[in-house]
Structure 1
């Protein structure tokens, strides 16, 4: 700042006001200072600025990088936080980096609140201890930890939509590939089973073990291909699982949706790829991000202390992977 002030022949205080975007200097003066700063290669020291602030205005986001929907959510959180003049700090979970370490790093970086995307490893009592230090908002699950907030989709209603759609096309032999213990998976399984019962197809309901991974979908497809007769439709636990399932069926010479219709879950960017054209249950990622940021700010800026849990209604995005069963 001293170099910029000397270059223009103005005071350092004036340069500080402009670069700090504070009121006082005229529009013409601001333009001169900013142009000079650019010419001299001046860059603000963000770390130093944070140390001088009473508040960091940073939201920490913990995610796994394992699913396309998480990437979509991170992008939406950046946009939602920016609208409230907050910045986002990311911390990724990996095999060599525990959830506890990832959370401690975010708190150590002075994040004012934490947003956790689809995590299940942290015990509720441990998460409650974190929430006693900073506000915690979960996206995609509700762990039941005391003093935390959550934003999620009605996952049982989502798989009901998938079954209703397939039944409306004429399908009766509909299999579900389960997501195991992943966040939202038990609710998706329950929704599938309930919908099959409601349509009078309870005795035909079948749940194959799986996970939120392409490999799980491929294994489920191998199981089905080993049988004498394929089901006419499959509801996968998420889009990645559906992608693995479809790829394996097609490599085996089976037609999707000619022989087997497939429905995914999340409606991530993967689902809309031209070569996939996957019918999928849509979660409103943008709205989830907005509500998560709003929940954190309600605690930080408005002093809310009671927990808030929001459940959003899903919708179904229909594409080319579903059709009436082959007669």
Structure 2
């Protein structure tokens, strides 16, 4: 029989299920049953196993759990740029649903480029994720579909066969931004846009609204939507159209680049030029920037994405769906009357 000192002393290696069984004085099969459904064993033995787990610092092996079932309790999330802060709320929304159910989100950053996106997706699928979320532009090869339930989060240029689409109404969001600037009296309006699917929808909604008001805006388009892209697009806009009084950026990160371009020219926000962003990211909410922004409710996109994934995991035969979430304009200190 082990002495009390031996029973409670830490192991020099990672404790196993067999160590827990020996510590608790029960069989390994009973410990396994405890891990699956503790209510199926007596209170006395349940307490003994729980005490042994706490004393040894035992953590069940996810790999062992995977081998015992066909599911890994993991969700793959592919994004295209860590610098785009809308992913923060998307991930937070997903985890608010998935964490309590024992799922973990495995993140892969693809960065722009078809090969990188495919590599990131293939890497997650190789880890046998139960489902996949694409918050990046799918490659041509991916459009044929995947063998796991897939949700596309946010507008993309293409949606894989059989995948769900859950996104903000970016066309409506672009119109919100345009109408706000028009109501403030701006007629010399520039738009900093990107080449991705979400930017295209935001640009389309913006253009419809200004066209209805008889205003012709200037579009400065870049390939990406980073801060550097926003800066370069704003520099071009201000050099070629110095009479610009308002700028609508495709996201908050591009708006930050516009701030730098305006500062370099000695212009202030909003006295000289009003600026409005998109995503209502943590960047926009900072007291320093106090950026007016369109809230795309990416937290709700994440929540609905998680619920849809769980439904598709439970019933793979479900038909894919498309859902739009209504945006909202959040007024702060970077827009003013002309």
> How many Å separate the matches in 1 of 2:334 and 2:271?
9
Residue 66 of structure 1: CA displacement? 3.6
Shift of 1:223: 2.5
CA apart distance, 1:102:
1.6
Q: Secondary structure at the match of 2:236?
A: helix
Matched, 1:151 2:190: no
Match of 2:289 in 1: 276
SS of 1:102's partner is helix
Per-residue CA shift, 1:91-114, capped at 9, x if unaligned? Answer: 221479722222222222111211
Deviation at 1:158, TM superposition (A): 0.6
Query: Between Structure 1 and Structure 2, how many residues are aligned?
Result: 318
Q: Hey, what does 1:310 align to over in structure 2?
A: 323
Q: Which residue is equivalent to 2:221?
A: 209
User: 2 CA distance for matches of 1:129 and 1:169?
Assistant: 46
Q: Name 1:135's counterpart in structure 2.
A: 149
Aligned partners of 1:26, 1:167: CA distance in 2, in Å? 70
Q: 2:75 aligns with which of 42, 47, 59?
A: 59
Q: Contact 2:132 / 2:150 at 8 angstroms: preserved in 1? A: yes
Residue pair 1:224, 1:230 contacting (<8 A) in 2 also: no
CA distance, structure 2, for counterparts of residue 154 and residue 217 of structure 1:
22
* Residues 140, 150 of structure 1: 8 Å contact kept: yes
Deviations 1:96-152 (A, max 9, x none): 9722222222222111211111x22512xx224443x11211011251432111111
- Alignment match of 1:122 (pick from 124, 129, 139): 139
Residue 208 of structure 1 aligns to a residue in which SS? strand
Task: In structure 2, list runs of 5 or more residues that go unmatched.
Answer: 1-16
| Alpha-carbon separation, structure 1, partners of 2:111 and 2:304 | 26
SS of equivalent to 1:151: strand
TM-score calculated relative to the size of structure 1: 0.89
Specify whether residues 227 and 127 from structure 1 end up closer, same or farther in structure 2 by C-alpha distance, changes over 3 A only.
closer
Out of 186, 189, 195, the residue aligned to residue 203 of structure 2 is 189
Distance apart, 1:295 and its partner CA: 2.3
Match of 1:168 among 176, 180, 183: 183
The superposition leaves residues 286-320 of structure 1 with CA deviations (integer Å, 9 ceiling, x where unpaired) of 21112212222232213444221111111111111
Query: C-alpha distance in 1, partners of 2:145/2:171?
Result: 29
Q: Per-residue deviation at 1:27? A: 4.9
1:187-241: CA deviations, max 9, x gaps? Answer: 111111111111121xx32111233111122123322443574311111111111
CA distance in 1, matches of 2:221, 2:88: 25
CA RMSD of aligned residues (A): 2.2
Return 5+ residue gaps in structure 1 as ranges.
Answer: none
Aligned to 2:129: 111
